[in-house]
Structure 1
Amino acid sequence: MEKDKVIDISTDMKKLRTILRKLPKDKVTVVEPLFKELEFMQRTLESLKKEIETIGVVTEFKNGRQDFLKENPALKSYTALIQKYGNIYKQVTSLLPKDDGKSEDELIEFIKK
């Protein structure tokens, strides 16, 4: 993995950030740290995904003269992180304003489903 390579956050995350800016100040103070974690997790997930696609789900492991196949550690990390990402994403979206019939934003509608 290249550590100096910057991975952009997705368009959906950019739209979500725009929506979050419209929240009341008391909710923003709760949501902002969670959103920053989501951004970090998304970048990390993308890096892990690229590594899994490049190396594969199993890697060769040498123990003395014997070769073994074992699960790619990136896959294990990806699996654990994607679950945590989903939980935090749900937390953030639960703090979004409830639909009052005025919202036409497609992302909000998607998230609420």
Structure 2
Amino acid sequence: MATSKKKANVSTDMKKVKQLLKQIPEDRQPIAQGIYNELIFIQNTLIELRQQVEEEGATAMFQQGKQEFLREHPALKAYNTTIQRFSLLYKQLVELLPDTDEQQETDELMEFIKE
């Protein structure tokens, strides 16, 4: 079993996200850091999958016995699944951020309207 010592490539966008982590309350920092680390891994995986699809195309020939047919490229299928997980984790990270003043004002307005 080969182990990869490849260093994770951190995109400019993820460096901006890292700055947002400072706004997350201290008690939620371990959770936020874990999500952030997964996001970096997933983003790098998405880049590799996208490159593979761009090079090989969105479809691939598949052979099963004597039958051969065109199907969705496995890398595209993996990309689509992985991007959903990325979006879900990103949303979870954003939900760890404290409420903004704008959201608090909206909530206060809604409470007033309900009365």
Q: Does the pair score TM above 0.5?
A: yes
Alignment of 1:1-113 (within 5 A): 8-63=9-64, 67-100=68-101
Gaps of 5+ in 2: 103-115
SS at match of 2:61: strand
Quick one: distance in 1 between partners of 2:91 and 2:25? 19
Q: So what's the TM-score if we normalise by structure 1?
A: 0.74
Distance 1:4 1:28 in 2: 26
Q: Given residue 29 of structure 1, which amino acid in structure 2 is its aligned partner?
A: P
Going from structure 1 to structure 2, the CA distance change for 1:47 and 1:4 (only over 3 Å counts) comes to farther
How has the CA–CA distance of structure 1 residues 5 and 27 changed in structure 2, closer, same or farther, with 3 Å as cutoff? closer
Shift of 1:12: 1.5
Larger radius of gyration: 2
Q: Is the 8 A contact 2:23 2:97 kept in 1?
A: no
Partner secondary structure for residue 21 of structure 1? helix
Match of 1:111 in 2: none
Q: Deviations over 1:82-104 (max 9, x none)?
A: 11111110000111122237xxx
Q: 1:61: how far off?
A: 2.6
SS in 2 for 1:42: helix
Question: What is the TM-score with the length of structure 2 in the denominator?
Answer: 0.73
Gaps of 5+ in 1: 102-113
Kept in 1: contact 2:42–2:86 (CA 8 A): yes
Q: CA deviation at 1:18?
A: 1.6
Offset, 1:62 = 3.5
CA–CA separation in structure 2 for the residues paired with 1:55 and 1:4: 26
Aligned AA (2:84): Q
Name the structure with the higher helix share.
Answer: 2
The residue aligned with 2:108 is none
> What amino acid does structure 2 have at the position aligned with 1:49?
R
Contact 1:57-1:72 within 8 A present in 2 as well: yes
